[in-house]
Amino acid sequence: MTEKLIIHGGKALRGEVEISGAKNSVLKLMAATLLTGDSIELRNVPHLSDVGVMTQVLKYLGCDVDQQDDDRLYIQAKNITSCEAPYDLVRKMRASFDVLGSLLGRFGEARVALPGGCSIGKRSVDLHVKGLIALGAEVEINHGYVEAKASRLIGAEILLDTPSVGATENIMLAATMAEGATILSNAAQEPEIVDLANFLNAMGADISGAGTNELVINGVKPGSLHGTTYSVMPDRIEAATYLMAGVGTMGDVTVNNVLPVHLSSLTHKLIEMGAEIEMPSPNSIRIHSERRLQAQNIVTQPYPGFPTDLQAPFMTLLSTADGVSIVKETIYENRFKQVGELKRMGADISVERDVAVITGVPHLSGAEVNAHDLRAGAAMVIAGVMAEGSTQVFDLHHLDRGYEDVVSKMRSLGADIERVPDTSGRPVTEESA
């Protein structure tokens, strides 16, 4: 049976919340474990349905995977029985496409289903494929699968048309054991790329420049990567979600286990809007505000710009800010799914192509709303705690992909929120992000 959230909003959230390991990093680290037959121990691993899907993919390939009740995950890719990731699994979660680079890099062959479009945009993989071809792989697309082969990949100079996170990762994974150096320019600079490079280096790879737009991957000998223990970086998007819920309710919230520099593009905007922000320790951020926030404009950009993954939750905050705000979405073609739901809660928003204009209303009012995708779901939870009255949020499987224990974490901050069976029989929507 599906479930829904019931939130009685309008209460200021107060307290401290522990942030989990980053979904968008752990999935890539899991794909990277395919590069060695040794055992890997990952720590700070969140319990999320996306981690479950990646576990299924790795098990399908022949890996031993064991997630503990705490934050540890053990993976060993010693007895790989297949180099094929089937459509049934890849379509559930686009990040599973990252096994392409690892399988090709270690075994010289891979057959991975094309992820297809998804609900937030067309999201092609042309840059992944071009990068692998530049490394000397023969790549064909047959029957919805990317089939790649290479007896030995050769390092190359590669310039990405756009700094794609996934393409940067797949090329890094493939180039790790290539012959010679790969120089990847216009690379993605997201913190998750740095986490992947640090992890690969801990396994014996030789990668520098992560976090800048030029990565240098010096290929190491085939078979030379080894086991390690590694702690996943904190989830900057989850942290941001609790900060926005805190300030949106005019509360006082501290997020712990974060790297504040990862959240600079958000915290700068929040300060300009009138929020008070402090760093009580190097790994925490406190936010509070007693006043209505001021309107603000944002344009989504690759890191270190304002993240597209925070666009929907941030729009919830803007919906009650004083004045007119403008949001421009530049990364995805179809990422305003929260708008219709926020309007059902009383927001005043109009959309013209990739631009949304939000005229702040004094308050949102509770309603029945859908979590249309993962981050639109976060936007609905924030809206629910901010709104007057009761809100019901449906389609929670989207939220479960990326938010560990959202109900207990929100409750620890004083939110009145519960998760109950949804007996309405509503159809479930799919997404692969």
303-338 in b/e burial notation, b at 16+ Cβ within 10 A? beebbbbbbbbbbbbbbbbeeebebebebbeebbbb
Burial of 83 per CB tally in 10 Å (0-12, 13-18, 19+): buried
Closest contact distance (angstroms) between CB of 387 and ligand UD1 is 26
Question: CB 194 → ligand UD1: shortest distance, Å?
Answer: 13
Smallest distance, ligand UD1 to C-beta of residue 168, A: 8
Q: 3 by DSSP, 3-state: which? A: strand
User: Which DSSP symbol is given to 36?
Assistant: -
Of 170 and 249, which has the nearer Cβ to ligand UD1?
Answer: 170
Q: Choose among 217, 283, 211: nearest CA to 254.
A: 283
- Using CB positions, name the residue nearest to ligand UD1: 166
Task: Pick the closer one to ligand UD1 by CB: 198 or 254.
Answer: 198
Nearer to ligand UD1, 336 or 386 (CB): 336
Residue 182 CB, nearest distance to ligand UD1 (Å)? 17
CA angle 289/295/296 to nearest 5° reads: 105
> What residue ranges bind ligand UD1 (CB under 6 A)?
24, 27, 94-95, 121-128, 162, 164-167, 188, 308-309, 331-332
Residue number with CB closer to ligand UD1 (294 or 429):
429
Q: Quick one: 167 or 317, whose CB is closer to ligand UD1?
A: 167
Is 93 in contact with 76 (CB distance < 8 Å)? no
Give Cα separations from 353 to 63, 308, 376 (angstroms).
44, 16, 18
> Which residues pair with residue 299 across a beta bridge?
328
Please, which residues have CB within 8 angstroms of residue 295's CB and are 6 or more apart in sequence?
A: 273, 318, 321, 322, 323, 324, 325, 358, 360
CB of residue 323 to ligand UD1, shortest distance in Å: 28
Task: Note if 83 is an active site residue.
Answer: no
| Closer to ligand UD1 by Cβ: residue 29 or 167 | 167
Q: How far, in Å, CA of 372 to CA of 5, rounded?
A: 14
- Annotated catalytic residue: which of 19, 118, 200, 383? 118
Residue 132 CB, nearest approach to ligand UD1 (Å): 11
The DSSP bridge pattern shows strands 73-76 and 64-67 to be antiparallel
Which residues lie across from 128 on neighbouring strands?
A: none
Total Cβ atoms within 10 A of residue 405: 15
Looking at the annotation, which residues are catalytic? 118
